[in-house]
Amino acid sequence: MSDETPGPGFHKPVKRPSELFDRLYGTQDPAEVSRVAHSTAAALLSRVREEPDAGVVDRLVEFTDRHGIDDIAELWSRSPARTLPGTLWRIYLLQLMIHDDPRTAALLYERGRVELGSADEVVAGAPAPAGPEELVTLSDEILRGVFDGDFGVALQRAGAFCRVEASGATHLADDYEPTEPERASELTTRALRLSTFAEDLDAAASLWRRDSLT
């Protein structure tokens, strides 16, 4: 798993897929898929944030560990990046990336933290240095902040984390290029995707603060 990039490659085995989702996606109706994605994202977020319950938030943070990513993917993965469902999908995917391979995440983060020389490590909120356990904790804290904290801050923290990881992946790719070009290519692809995640999450934070993230 260490060579995978944020994306469908992090899927865990499907567990009890909902018949509703099967029927919905079987129709291949983009309008209906979009409607359900936006309505479920808005309903979930508003309900939990209006009446936060520690047990509910805990279950949402632990959802992919218990059930895999597939149910969430069926809800939100097809949504544009700078929408509420697209943003929630990316936050969950980032958490899963770290949980699935915390060692690689820590390796990239530490290299990026040293090389980047920006305030992103401070915004992300990980300790320095950050090991695998610390990054797992960080990913859970960011996701928790989506449901019971400042949503915009949670997105900014996630974006900053992605920039640090992208920097680490870029520099490691340079290291591998002379001897392991295939590995270097994989890291370069990961860096690009993480950079794109960072841009999208920052944009989503700005939209949220203008009440325009829908």
**pLDDT score of 47 more than 60:** yes
Q: How confident is the model at residue 32 (pLDDT cuts 50, 70, 90)?
A: confident
Query: For 113-146, what is each residue's pLDDT tens digit?
Result: 999 989 999 999 999 899 999 999 999 999 999 9
Q: Please check the confidence at residue 74 and state whether its pLDDT lies above 90.
A: no
Mean pLDDT over 11-34 rounds to 53
DSSP notation for the chain: -TT--SSGGGPPPP-S--HHHHHHHHHT-HHHHHHHHHHHHHHHHHHHHHS--HHHHHHHHTHHHHH-SHHHHHHHTTS-TTSHHHHHHHHHHHHHHHHH-HHHHHHHHHHHHHHH-STHHHHHT--SS--HHHHHHHHHHHHHHHHHS-HHHHHHHHHHHHHHHHHHHHHHHHHHTTT-HHHHHHHHHHHHHHHHHHHHHHHHHHHHHTT---
195 vs 70, more confident = 195
* Among the listed residues 100, 112, 110, the one whose alpha carbon sits nearest the alpha carbon of residue 174: 112
What percent of the chain is modeled with pLDDT above 70? Answer: 86
**pLDDT tens digit sequence for 159-193:** 999 999 999 999 999 999 999 999 999 999 999 99
pLDDT of residue 33: 78
37 vs 17, residue with greater confidence: 37
pLDDT at 160: 98
Q: Is the pLDDT of residue 23 over 70?
A: no
Q: Are 115 and 171 a contacting pair, CB within 8 Å?
A: yes
Instruction: Using the predicted structure, report yes or no on whether residue 109 has a pLDDT greater than 70.
Output: yes
Q: How confident is the model at residue 12 (pLDDT cuts 50, 70, 90)?
A: very low
**Among 1-5, 12-16, 51-55, the least confident range:** 12-16
Do residues 91 and 6 lie in contact, with contact meaning Cβ atoms separated by under 8 Å? Answer: no
Q: What is the pLDDT of residue 28?
A: 58
The CA distance from 59 to 191, in Å, is: 30
